[in-house]
Amino acid sequence: MKIMDVLNSKLLYVLVFIALATIFGMCVFFFKRARKRAKELGVSDEKIKSVIRSSIIFSIVPSISIIIGLITLVPILGVPWPWFRLSVVGSLPYEITAADQAVKAAGFSSLDNFLSTGTADVVGAILFVMSIAIMGGMIFNIFVLKKMHVGVVKAGEKDTPVIDLLLSVLVVGMMSVFVPAQFVISKVHACTLIISAVTTMLLSWIAKKYNVKWLGDFIMSFALIIGMVSAVFLEKILL
């Protein structure tokens, strides 16, 4: 059986559908409880409907980048698994990194190498690594999130330049892990990264300079789309 036959198998579709249906059911359950509690507190129906409309509108914006991530992952991991991962707690950088580390641990040089020369018996290990690794964050939240949230709230109530500096260093550190590894792969990777970064800075400047508030919510989506389109053209030019 080929790799993509496993990744696009009917069984995986069924399992993913069951999992997503369960999560959707949980959302409906808590939505009903929240609405009932709001009415008990005297919140008007008009106010509740306004909140629902706002939530729907603001959910559309992040879904654009999620759809782009799904399109990116489909050629690598098939349809059902990326659909499941990005619908729950996954993200494009994490999924690609976890899958890449898994195939390298299995003895392949890259995901491309695995897809061209690998066998289906490694697929289970890749999906397991992608699932188990991200559970660390959820387990961490169970024991630490409340204390950390209280600390962040208290820190926000006063001027804390040290904490601001630490958060900035954290972001720079995360970028230092992901960016150089992709930048040195090829000229296409490097140029795509530069174009995406320039797009982000330009759109951020426009949003701030001309007070285009809605643009701030779409900067990541525009940067992803422009970066992906430029990568397609650069692939033909530089390779």
Residue 100's pLDDT band (boundaries 50, 70, 90)?
confident
Residues 79-86: contacts with CB under 8 Å, at least 24 apart: 79/7, 79/8, 79/13, 80/7, 80/8, 80/12, 80/13, 80/15, 80/16, 81/7, 81/12, 81/16, 81/127, 81/130, 83/16, 83/20, 84/16, 84/19, 84/20, 85/130
pLDDT for the residue numbered 11: 93
Inform me whether the pLDDT recorded for 105 exceeds 70: yes
Residue 95 pLDDT exceeds 70: yes
pTM exceeds 0.85, yes or no: no
Nearest in space to 197 (alpha carbons), one of 216, 173, 177, 222 = 222
- pLDDT tens sequence across 110-122: 888 888 888 888 8
> Which tokens is 223 given?
């940067």
What single DSSP character describes residue 109? Answer: S
Mind listing the pLDDT tens digit for each residue in 130-185? 888 888 878 888 888 888 778 777 766 666 677 778 878 888 888 888 788 878 88
Average pLDDT, the chain: 85
* Of the candidate ranges 154-158, 201-205, 206-210, the one whose mean pLDDT is the lowest: 154-158
What's the mean pLDDT in 52-80?
A: 80
* Residues 204 and 198 sit within 8 Å (Cβ to Cβ): no
Per-residue pLDDT of 79-90, as tens digits, reads 999 999 888 877
Render pLDDT for 2-26 as a digit per residue (tens, 0 to 9).
888 889 999 999 999 999 999 999 9
